[in-house]
């Protein structure tokens, strides 16, 4: 159909991780791990220090400041905003 209309057809290469479907409880768990890795990597690249990052849970929408240090077993949810006061 597209070719008949004179439109170009090109393949689109994507990372499976970005388009992963969730069809089971295991799939949901795997997706949550991927999302947590993205969130924590973003904050660590912006200067947040994390002790044992695998034990820390950060929801999307949380706001942190650079040089902030999070210890293990921290859960940050919803609209939490943390900064350092000197």
pLDDT one-digit tens code per residue, 30-46: 889 999 999 999 999 99
The partner residues of 57 in beta bridges, in order of sequence, read 75
The pLDDT of residue 86 is 53
Q: Is residue 57 part of a domain?
A: yes
Q: Is residue 41 part of a domain?
A: yes
CA separation, residue 22 to residues 18, 28, 38, 58, 67 (Å): 12, 5, 18, 20, 35
State which residues form the domain around 40: 22-76
Closest CA to 57 of 28, 36, 82, 38: 36
Please count the other Cβ atoms lying within 10 Å of the Cβ belonging to residue 50. Answer: 19
Please count the other Cβ atoms lying within 10 Å of the Cβ belonging to residue 68. Answer: 15
Number of compact structural domains in the chain: 1
* pLDDT (mean) for 53-59: 96
Q: Is residue 71 part of a domain?
A: yes
The pLDDT of residue 6 is 84
Q: Which pTM value belongs to this model?
A: 0.73
Q: Are 20 and 34 in contact (CB under 8 A)?
A: yes
Q: Is residue 9 part of a domain?
A: no
CA separation, residue 7 to residues 3, 4, 12 (Å): 5, 7, 15
Q: How confident is the model at residue 71 (pLDDT cuts 50, 70, 90)?
A: very high
Average pLDDT of the chain is: 87
């Amino acid at each position: 159909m597209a070719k008949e209309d004179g439109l170009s057809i090109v393949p689109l290469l994507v990372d499976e991780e970005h388009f992963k479907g969730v069809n089971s409880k295991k799939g949901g768990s795997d997706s949550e791990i991927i999302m947590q890795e993205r969130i924590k990597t973003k904050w660590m690249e912006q200067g947040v220090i994390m002790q044992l990052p695998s034990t820390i849970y950060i929801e999307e929408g949380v706001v942190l400041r650079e040089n902030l240090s999070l210890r293990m077993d921290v859960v940050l949810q919803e609209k939490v905003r943390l900064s350092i006061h000197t």
